[in-house]
Structure 1
């Protein structure tokens, strides 16, 4: 909670962990679940239950039910859900609400929730539409591509995308580049993350282009492989761009730390800048509030529509890592004319979209006496597209690390995503 008693996003996770109604899976695809009453004195007949069936992130059917279950007991419940079939991604949400108003709690207040199917990988098995007619023209170091109303340019000397347009409208103001750091959180300062992991703060600036390998255009498009080395430590980092036949760009990034004695990586991902006018955000992933890899079970996977202006959490007393979303299938940002880009993960990705850069939120190795009101908004939207970042922890704020599964300590990381225009 903030000093003014406004809730921080983490309160939703705390509430879920502390809830006294436990939903367990028996065979949820057939509507069979178990419910445990962990209250000491309260019968579950005091609550109204609701289930919502989601298909590809959108609700398709819902119903309510009641349950007479004494404290400490467990009961199997059969829900009358429709037959789940096909290659779609299905999920089942469950909620419990108060039936009656009390002095402290209003009627209809949610006291428990659960989602089944949220870790599904079914979306990523679905084939993406990549059909189109791609034309390529090479002029010196520049590769120009065109597919219908989509066009762009790639500079092989720089190893970078330098233009990407739809109907002559530039879709990005800054193109995807590697990034490994996050602005330290209060818990990060407690476990000395800024000092211990400080190498990664400017690691993106240490990447030097080694070679660019240009493939031959084939039925899948055109592949451009850019091989980098992280200077001094000779760490290989590879970005592979595949220009697809419909003008979309598939980007794969990988790093190999094998044999290198490196500190834990705060994040593995890339960032890009988008026009300030891309105020609308639609995404399919965990929401609606900010969530992180170790703080996201209360954030259900679904389809959400939000604004960029809603992403920054203003009631953190000090600027820090902020506004993250996890388990993202796709996210799109666009303006009032519906011009913008869509980013689709080929595995779950994470994103944030803020009017500030990570550098703006980072005070350095020690806390500074600054507040969100001290920040100046950028003239662009800074978007992070990550495989993941370290958890936020919270066992205590004076030394405890995030739990081991939420630390990025592997020797190798790789992920892929597709960038494409939003078609009108």
Structure 2
């Protein structure tokens, strides 16, 4: 099996680079042998692995056993081995001495080479400190040792950023610089935006940036990882670090040599900042969409419904029922003018009941749309919802579509009318924002 080296990069600390390195290492280690080289002076990955040593470099300098800075953890049929290269203190001074003293430099090369060859590792993950620069002798030395031992290894550089516009732009500029300066060309690059909140606007912005990055800069996979609050104050060990779902998907792509490219997105059980929205819910009656609406919407939304069976599920919310007269009319329409008239009358009813800036939910769109064949069905429904949204849009901040299937049927017809469409997973609980 070919050797693969995954180099973790970031322009600044605190972006979750080391956590992602460990999560990726664990995902790969379930069926393979993984060596995680902790080059970050902070040593977060080493701390998680419970390595108390001062690092390989310090041990060599002090004539101590450097193997005490290595720990092996079994996962499934594979394992992950973590090596702490540097201590948290005096590392800068020691590194300068390494490159001034040829003997010391050779001792480090010999030790690092033995570690790399100590088992039949399939994957090597190098967790770097923030803003490393390939003009540095230290960085070049480590890269040269690895490439001398495994000259045919594939190298994937993985850039990690937060969703901040400033951080993404700085990380993109950093990536451009690294890809020019690096002594070993990367086979492919990945760009991970970490700590993305369950916020419609933030998700839309990050997605559009990743689409641009993958299209223009040759990044093979753009990954969105959501904000995992429990990891902010995490105090467990490496065994307890979760394998994050998007990172697991990325690991599968790496193992399968799948270079088709694209975006890897997370699922959210709820979204923030959807107050004052107009939400259109479309889909089958048995997919638990009431749970999704409750997860999405805070406060006291207005539910526009057609089926009285849902009343007990929305008992605490304000409701406006579509009348029997309306349900009859939607099957009898014969002219597009009547379709638009019906849409405008429904809009007026909603605004009368709403009277504030709360969210309104149409539950469900497919039971409210015109159902006759007065004209081409897609055009008819488009005109109907275009009229409703046009009448209401001044009263709502954004329009969101929640859909079982966003690639066909009525959902596809409605997508041009909304700001954000949300695709639900088959179980009806998880939410994947999509364009």
Q: TM-score, normalised by structure 1?
A: 0.21
Please state which structure has a larger fraction of its residues in strand.
1
Bigger-Rg structure (1/2): 2
